[in-house]
Amino acid sequence: MPHHVAILAYDRLCTFEFGCAIELFALERPELEVPWYSYAVCAAEPGPLRAAGGLVLQVQHGLEALDRADTIVIPGWRGADHVPGAELVDALRRAHARGARLCSICSGAFVLAHAGLLDGKRATTHWRYFAQLAAGFPTIRIEADALYVQDGTIVTSAGSAAGLDMLLHLVRSDFGVAIANQVAQRLVLPAHRDGDQAQQVARPLPSVEGDPVAHTMDWIRENMRAAHTLASMAQQARMGVRTFQRRFKDRTGLSPLDWLVRERVALAAQLLETRPALGIEAIADLAGLGSAESLRRHFRSRGMAPPARYRRQHQRQEPTTTA
């Protein structure tokens, strides 16, 4: 039997994310010569359902269709503050218990979080929602720089377009690289970003006059090679450790040490792209990661390509200035 995918629809549906799932799983692809997915669109509540852009959907199936799905896709959600209904939560828990693969795009992670299915797991969502997800569900290990994260049978993706990367990852997992490449070619997308590219979205945290956390972050960025501990960062901010941790997480949605590792990985990636003469060991040292092995481990944990391959894929020269 073909792998069966259930695509969730709901009132105030996110049209782009929903369209991505339809494009991947609902189109016939006879040119691939494989038993392509079967699918069902499932309504989370009675219709008709409103969708972004003024569209209205009448959906044939209800939540009972989730009980037959091998994979369930949650294409966004109507709001990070909106708690999903008990029937939807129960259906997702049943699906997870029997081993179905559960996947969310963007804010859809909040549905899985409310169902308790992300507790203690690695996950991601759109960068705008990191702080809210962390505050509401503190046991989730948020991976801030990943396009998508798979932890067991649960896969979460970042901002809207990252959903396509995640969906191609599912195709690659189910049918192999060659088939996934053909699908990517039809979509006019890169065949494989390895789930390996950090979200290339600037998330600046402007320095606030008199804000010791912001000033400490700026100071650390200027001294990335130095050894930093939670205690030394709190001392730089002239705060107690617990106060510093709380203030830092309120400001960034991350713990100080998680933020530090993210900044070091970002610096290493920048150096790989712009400093072709620097060896991997030197880059690891300048970024404060210690060794090439540590650098490779941190890249791998974020789903990024190994440093040498990352450099080949992204190498560019720093602009030069002339007098």
Is there a cis peptide before residue 2, judged by omega within 30 degrees of 0?
A: no
Enclosing H/E stretch for 299? helix 292-301
Q: Would you state the torsion angle of the CA atoms of residues 91, 92, 97, 102, taken in this order, to the nearest 10 degrees?
A: 150
Cα–Cα distance, 262 to 304 (Å, whole number):
12
Given the residues 14, 42, 103, 106, the one annotated as active site: 106
Contact (CB, 8 A) for 257 and 241: no
Taking residue 319's Cβ as centre, other Cβ atoms within 10 Å add up to 6
Tokens 């901002």 locate to: 159
Does residue 72 sit in helix, strand or coil? strand
Instruction: Report the candidate in 34, 9, 39 with the shortest Cα–Cα distance to residue 24.
Output: 39
- Residue 67 vs residues 93, 103, 188: alpha-carbon distances, Å: 10, 15, 33
106 is catalytic: yes
Q: What are the residue numbers of the active site?
A: 106
